[in-house]
A and B are shown apart, each in its own frame.
Chain A
Amino acid sequence: VEEVLAAAEGLEAERQRSITVEKELELEFDLGNLLALDRNPPPAAGLRGAGPQREALLRALARDNTQLLVARLWELPAERAGGAGGPLVARLPEPAFRLPREKPPPKPRPPTRWEQFARLKGIRRRKRTSLVWDEQAKEWRRRWGYRRAGGDPARAWLAEVPEGADPEEDQFARLRREKRERVARNELNRLRNLARAHRAGSAVPAAPLHPTGHQSREELSRVARVARVSTASLGRFQPRLPKESAEPPSRSGGKKRRFEPLLGNLVAERSRQLELLRNMSSKKPVLDITRAVNKQLRQEEAEAAAAKGKKQSQRGKRGRRQ
Chain B
Amino acid sequence: MRPLTEAETRVVFEKLGRYIGENIQLLVDRPDGTYCFRLHRDRVYYLSEKLLKVAASVPRESLVALGTCFGKFTKTQKFRLSVTALDFLAPYAKYKVWVKPGSEQSFLYGNHVLKSGLGRITENTAQYQGVVVYSMADVPLGFGVAAKSTQECRKVDPMAIVVFHQADVGEYVRREDTLT
Whether A13 is near chain B, meaning CB under 8 Å from some CB there, is no
Task: Please determine whether A276 and B1 come into contact, CB atoms closer than 8 angstroms.
Answer: no
A277 and B34 in contact (CB under 8 A), knowing A293-B151, A294-B151? Answer: no
Interface residues of A in 280-315 (CB under 8 A from B): 280-281, 287, 289-290, 293-294, 297-298
- Say whether A263 contacts B6, CB under 8 Å: no
Contact of A274 among B5, B29, B36 (CB under 8 A): B29
- Are A297 and B49 interface neighbours, CB within 8 A? no
> Could you say which residues of chain A place their CB within 8 Å of the CB of B179?
none
Closest 9 CB pairs of A and B: A290-B126, A260-B3, A259-B2, A294-B151, A297-B151, A273-B28, A266-B34, A266-B49, A281-B22
Given pairs A262-B3, A274-B28, 14 additional interface contacts (CB within 8 A):
A260-B2, A262-B56, A263-B53, A269-B36, A270-B36, A276-B6, A276-B10, A277-B22, A277-B28, A280-B13, A280-B17, A293-B149, A293-B151, A297-B151
Interface residues on A, range: 20 to 34
Q: Do A289 and B34 have beta carbons less than 8 Å apart?
A: no
Docked-complex contact A269 and B124, CB < 8 angstroms: no
Q: A274-B29, A297-B152 are in contact. Are A262 and B1 (CB under 8 A)?
A: yes
Q: How far is the CA of A287 from the CA of B10 in the complex (A)?
A: 20
**B10→A280 contact, CB < 8 A:** yes
Asked if A264 lies at the interface with its beta carbon under 8 angstroms from chain B, I say yes
Whether A267 sits at the interface, judged by CB under 8 Å, is yes
Q: Considering the complex, which residues of chain B in the window 19-62 have a beta carbon less than 8 Å from any beta carbon of chain A?
A: 22, 24-25, 28-29, 34, 36, 38, 49, 52-53, 56
CA of A267 to CA of B36 in the docked complex: distance in angstroms? 10
> Count of A-B contacts with CB under 8 A?
65
| Residues on A facing B (Cβ under 8 Å) | 259-264, 266-267, 269-270, 273-274, 276-277, 280-281, 287, 289-290, 293-294, 297-298
B residues less than 8 Å from A270 (CB atoms): 28-29, 34, 36
- Complexed CA–CA distance, A281 and B38 (Å): 23
Residues of A within 8 A of B10 (CB): 276, 280
Contacts of A267 in B (CB 8 A): 34
Contact residues of B with A, CB < 8 Å? Answer: 1-3, 5-6, 9-10, 13-14, 17, 22, 24-25, 28-29, 34, 36, 38, 49, 52-53, 56, 124, 126-127, 149-152, 155
Q: What are 18 A-B residue pairs whose CB atoms fall within 8 Å in the complex?
A: A260-B2, A260-B5, A263-B53, A264-B3, A266-B36, A270-B36, A273-B9, A273-B13, A273-B28, A274-B28, A276-B6, A276-B9, A277-B25, A277-B28, A280-B14, A290-B124, A290-B127, A297-B155
Q: What does DSSP make chain A's interface, helix, strand, loop or mixed?
A: helix
A259 CA / B13 CA spacing, docked (Å):
19
Q: Hey, which chain A residues are within 8 Å of B14, CB to CB?
A: 280
User: What residues of B have a CB within 8 angstroms of the CB of A259 in the complex?
Assistant: 2-3, 5
Cα-based distance from A276 to B28 in the complex (angstroms): 11
Q: Which residues of A contact B13 (CB under 8 A)?
A: 273, 276-277, 280
Alpha-carbon distance A276/B17, docked complex (angstroms): 12
Minimum distance in angstroms from B160 CB to a CB of chain A: 15
Known: A270-B34, A276-B13, A287-B126. A298 touches B2 (CB 8 A): no
B88 CB to nearest chain A CB (Å):
15
Q: Closest CB of chain A to B31's CB: distance in Å?
A: 12
B151 engages A298 (CB within 8 Å): yes
Q: How distant is B151 from chain A, measured CB to nearest CB, in Å?
A: 5
Task: Write out the residue numbers on chain B whose beta carbons fall within 8 Å of the beta carbon of A266.
Answer: 34, 36, 49
Contact indicator B36/A294 (Cβ below 8 Å): no
Complex Cα spacing A262 to B3, Å: 6
Residue of B nearest to A271 (CB): B29
Chain A residues within an 8 Å CB radius of B38: 262
Measured in the bound complex, the distance between the Cα atoms of B125 and A290 in whole Å is: 8
Contact between chains at A294 and B149 (CB < 8 Å): yes
Bound Cα distance A277, B28 (Å): 10
Q: Which residue of chain B lies nearest to A257 when distances are taken between CB atoms in the complex?
A: B5
A286 to chain B, nearest CB (A): 12
Cα distance, A262 to B45, chains bound together (Å):
13
B29: chain A residues at CB < 8 Å are 270, 274
Contacting B3 at CB < 8 Å: which of A269, A276, A287? A269
**Residues A263 and B56 in contact in the complex (CB < 8 Å), given A274-B28, A277-B25, A280-B10:** yes
Residue of A nearest to B38 (CB): A262
Complex alpha-carbon distance, A54 and B128, angstroms: 86
